[in-house]
Chain A
Amino acid sequence: MHINLKQEVRRSDFAVFGIITLVLLLILAVFGPLLTPYEPLKQTSFPFELPSFTHWLGTNHVGQDILSQLIYGARTSLLVGFSVAVLATILSAIIGTSAALIGGLYDKIVMRIVDALIVIPAIIVIILVAAYLKPNLLVLILLLALLGWQGGARTIRAQALSLKEMGHISAARSFGASNLYITFRHILPDLVPILLMGFIYGIRRAIFMEAGLAFLGVADPMTVSWGMMIHEALDFSYLNVWRWWLIPPGVALSLTIISVTGIGHALEGALDPRLRSEANA
């Protein structure tokens, strides 16, 4: 089956919305330091200042500018999201395809590890590990990646197993091709849609986990994160500050996750004929 990914994504309004939003967020995150008027962790004014022209979203309980924190929060979210997704996708691709192609004992061992990782709740492991390690951003990214490849690996292995039996792979074998050639020339390119979907959902999962962990306090206090902003804002819910302190990070987080979901949903629709809309074979 030949899928034109670009065309499939363009057909879905949801996906187009997702891509535009994500691109805007990325611009915001990349150029954040140029756009923000204040340093996010610096006390720039009195606590609990109302929104004004100097502080568009006011200040928090220690007088830090909330808008600057919001923009820097996007940096953290997207950095964690993308790096975790890249690492986890690479891991799952290597492990999934190698298990499918090599097979035998190797396949059995690797798949049991995958089973084990699937039943272990990642969030608890991370909280426990964070209790021993200083949870800086790098450690968090590595932990999330190491605990986030197993589902992808299983799908990729299944797909690679069925690809392996396909005519054009047999044909390549009949020309004398090695496993390595077949993997890079045929199987991986054919896995691109699935890898891409895994990557997109990987981003969503990582952003969500990072926010959740920060909300629970498992985060480096020196980095700004939407999860942490929500956590802090909730402590002052009896004041009116939640309108400009709690809602913006909440909306930003939701928007990011919705936009990623939109893209993922369109890809999924393209890959699964049962989910495809009108006849477009």
Chain B
Amino acid sequence: MLKLETLEVSYGEKKILHGIDLELQNGESLAIIGESGAGKTTLALTLMRLVDGSMRGKILFNGLHLLSLSEEAINKLRGNRIALAPQNANNTLNPVHTVLDQVAEPITEHQLKSQQEARQHASILLSSFGIPADRFSAYPHQLSGGEQQRVLLAIASANKPELLILDEPISSLDAPARANVIELIKRINHGCSLIVMTHDIGTAAKLADKVAVLYAGRMVELGSVSDVLSRPRHPYTRALIRCYPGMTTGKDLQGIKGVMDRSTSGCAFYPRCTQAIEICRREVPPLKLTQGRYVACHRGGIITLLSTKNLSKRFGSLLAVDSVNITIEGAETLALVGESGSGKTTLAKLIMGFIQPTEGEICLEDSPVSNRGKDFYRQVQMIFQNPGESLSHRLSVLELVKEPLDIQEIGTKEERDRRARQVLKEVELPDTKAFLNEYPHHLSGGEMQRVAIARALVLRPRLLIADEPVAFLDSSLQAKILKLLLNLQEQRGLSLLFITHDIAVARKISDRIAVMKTGKIIEQGPATTIITSPAQAYTRELSQAASRLSFEN
């Protein structure tokens, strides 16, 4: 019923929307999500032809070219077949008319009914929207925010439009009012198509069948709402979800680095993207259909950094790792959870190439890893389980942290020193001369652990395999280190394979969890799903055994 073809809108020199293509069927509901400034409101206004900028491209509404219609013709559509409930009810409602009059207005306007009939119709509508009869003659400022929003919806749906556009319908409301209004919108949606502009992905999840992600005036991802929001494919979509403080998120909130910049010549998200490559800077990626999803990314969406295929390791009669298939995406945390002896460390060693697999293969960005040279280890680093053992007793702290740079022959001596000091500061260790000359056996367990972490980070790897990295630390340090790792994920796109026996720690840092038992991955999925509704009894046991603050009486 609605089709947009390369729709462009600009205010003077400033282009707000770039080539939007979109299709909406009868009765479908579409959410358009994005940060403020992405162009959501402009798009809403453009569909109503209310925008005061120049428009190019096509908007086809049931066969009508909206952009080439006369002003008279479009007036007949507006508020009648296409209706908009604008953002910010408070400003939109006219303060000098009663709400009943305002709901009746579009009815008298389009259905040519008498004032009397229109008012009657309006009052039926208002009561069905839950406004008590004694409030009909109230003025907008006398209503609560929730009531104002419902009045606005009543106005928009007064003429039973075929297409209803809602701009941030619930963002100004409190939680109970939100639930109310969402119910209401769902009811309206039974008879018409719906477009919801929102920055709140929870609203999108509740209201829409399909979701489009808008960034700096461009659509970057489009697909069914459950697919896109549970398994985002564009880095921006995933970043948005990571910013969302829902009851279903266990991982700590992460932001998106930088701010939106419309002036880039290539992919608009390029400056904030952690997996950008050269082409992203130069060319705008087209929105392409791959695997049932429209994604605009030169890299085909979020990359798969590392994957194992039927990876097995046998020690004599013991199958330590039993056909393990895991994938780690770019800038993602996969937590590998299981009791000791379940094969977690063996799996880590297989990936690092310290031991050879009996069967199966390991792929780094889709190409199988055979000979691991310096190049592999520059990208993949590991924090060892026992920090004391992994630090040579003959090297000072500075020498230890510099060693990876020495081996990889990166930079001059001064640069190596500087990078080593900087990474020591990042892990909250002093960079004083005295400390740099300290030997590992003079350090505390926590300090050793942090030196080991600093050493694994100094090469700025893309994937960090962390084998119980915080097991030796007290909770305050543990929190700092986890935050550091998450921050590196946000800023540099660090991927993590986080090995832990503690599902409580895994919950705070991981996007997905894989549960390992006797060498097998028995269950894997999004972290929240694994924790709240585990499919395996073993996972439930792990969750129940995890630490929590609860009081017996």
Partner of B393, one of A1, A170, A173, A174: A1
- Which residues between 174 and 215 of chain A lie within 8 Å of chain B, taking CB atoms? 174-177, 181, 186, 189-190
A176 touches B392 (CB 8 A): no
Max chain B Cβ within 10 angstroms of own Cβ: one of A171, A181, A189: A171
Which residues of chain B are within 8 angstroms of A1 by Cβ–Cβ distance?
393
| CB <8 Å contact, A171 and B408 | no
Indicate if B144 sits at the interface (CB-CB under 8 A). Answer: no
Residues of B contacting A186 in the complex (Cβ-Cβ under 8 angstroms) = 392
**A166 within 8 Å of B (CB atoms):** yes
Q: Is there a chain B Cβ closer than 8 Å to A167's Cβ?
A: yes
Residues of A close to B404: CB separation below 8 A: 175-176
Is the pair B439, A172 in contact by a Cβ cutoff of 8 Å? no
Are A177 and B407 neighbours in the complex by a CB distance under 8 Å? yes
Closest to B395 in A: A168
Residues from 155 to 173 in B contacting A, C-beta threshold 8 Å: none
Q: A2-B439, A181-B407 are in contact. Are A174 and B381 (CB under 8 A)?
A: yes
- B354 and A173 contact, CB distance less than 8 A: yes
Contacts of B374 in A (CB 8 A): 176
Find out whether the CB atom of A170 lies under 8 angstroms from the CB atom of B408. Answer: no
Partner among B352, B388, B391, B439 whose Cβ is within 8 Å of the Cβ of A174: B352
CA distance A174 to B467 in the complex (A): 13
Query: Smallest CB-CB separation from A1: which chain B residue?
Result: B393
A176 & B390 in contact (Cβ 8 Å cutoff) = no
Nearest chain-A residue to B382 (Cβ)? A174
Expressed in whole angstroms, the minimum distance between the Cβ of A59 and any Cβ of chain B is: 55
- CA–CA, A189 to B378, complex, Å? 26
Least CB distance, A167 to chain B, in whole angstroms: 3
**In the docked arrangement, what's the CA distance between A104 and B376, Å?**
25
State in angstroms the CA–CA spacing of A110 and B376 once bound together. Answer: 33
Per-position binary interface string of chain B over residues 373-415, scored 1 when its CB falls under 8 Å from any chain A CB and 0 otherwise = 1111110011010101111111000000001100110000000
Contact in complex: B407, A176 (CB < 8 Å):
yes
- How long is the Cα–Cα vector from A145 to B187 in the complex, in angstroms? 96
Q: Does chain A have a CB within 8 A of B206?
A: no
Nearest-CB distance from A185 to chain B (Å)? 8
A176 touches B376 (CB 8 A): yes
- Taken together as a complex, chains A and B put the C-alpha atoms of A157 and B471 apart, in Å, by 34
Within 8 A of A (CB), among B349-389: 352-354, 372-378, 381-382, 384, 386, 388-389
Interface residues in A, total, Cβ within 8 A: 17
Q: In the complex, what distance in Å separates the CA atom of A1 from the CA atom of B439?
A: 12
Docked pose: A177 CA to B455 CA in angstroms? 14
Q: Select A176's contact among B354, B386, B388, B408, beta carbons within 8 Å.
A: B408
Given A171-B384, A171-B455, A177-B407, A2 and B441 touching (CB < 8 A)?
A: yes
Q: Closest A-chain residue to B374, C-beta based?
A: A176
**Bound state CA distance, A194 and B235, in angstroms?**
55
For chain B, the bracket of interface size reads: 20 to 34
A245 vs B265: C-alpha distance when bound (angstroms): 99
Do B407 and A189 have beta carbons less than 8 Å apart? no
| Chain A min CB distance to B380 (Å) | 8
Separation in Å of the A139 CB from the closest CB of chain B?
39
B531 at the interface (CB under 8 A from A): no
Inter-chain CA distance A186–B407, complex, in Å, is 13
Nearest-neighbour CB distance to chain A for B471, whole angstroms, equals 15
Cross-chain contact A2 with B376 (CB below 8 angstroms):
no
Residue contact B390 to A170, C-beta cutoff 8 Å: yes
Q: Assess the B407–A167 pair: CB atoms within 8 A.
A: no
* A2 lies within 8 A of B393 (CB): yes
Q: Mask for B507-524, Cβ within 8 A of A = 1, else 0?
A: 000000000000000000
User: B389, A168: Cβ atoms under 8 Å?
Assistant: yes
A residues 136-168 with Cβ under 8 Å of B? 166-168
Cα–Cα, bound, A17→B247 (Å): 75
B196 interface residue (CB < 8 Å to A): no
* Interface flag for B459 (CB, 8 Å): yes
In the bound complex, what is the Cα–Cα distance between A189 and B395 (angstroms)?
Answer: 11
- Judging by beta carbons under 8 Å apart, are B389 and A176 in contact? no
Q: How far is the CA of A170 from the CA of B377 in the complex (A)?
A: 12
Report the separation of the CA atoms of residues A124 and B246 in the bound assembly, to the nearest whole angstrom.
85
Is A175's CB under 8 angstroms from B394's CB?
Answer: no
A2 to B392, CA, bound (A): 9
Give the CA-CA distance A186 to B400 in the complex, in Å: 12
| B389 in complex: contacting residue of A167, A173, A177, A190, CB < 8 Å | A167
For B378, the chain A residues whose CB sits under 8 A away are 176
Once the chains are docked, how many angstroms separate the CA of A1 from the CA of B388?
10
Interface centre among B377, B393, B407, B459 (most CB of A within 10 A): B407
Given contacts A2-B439, A176-B374, A176-B377, contact A171 B407 (CB under 8 A): no
Q: List 19 A-B contacts (CB under 8 A).
A: A167-B384, A167-B390, A168-B390, A170-B352, A170-B384, A170-B390, A171-B384, A171-B391, A171-B392, A171-B455, A173-B353, A175-B377, A175-B403, A175-B407, A176-B377, A176-B378, A176-B407, A177-B407, A181-B407
Task: Identify 19 new A-B residue pairs, CB closer than 8 A, beyond the known A2-B441, A167-B390, A172-B407.
Answer: A1-B393, A2-B439, A168-B393, A170-B390, A171-B392, A172-B392, A172-B403, A174-B354, A174-B381, A175-B381, A175-B403, A175-B459, A176-B375, A176-B378, A176-B404, A176-B408, A186-B392, A190-B392, A190-B394
A-B CB proximity, top 5 nearest:
A167-B389, A176-B374, A167-B390, A176-B377, A175-B404
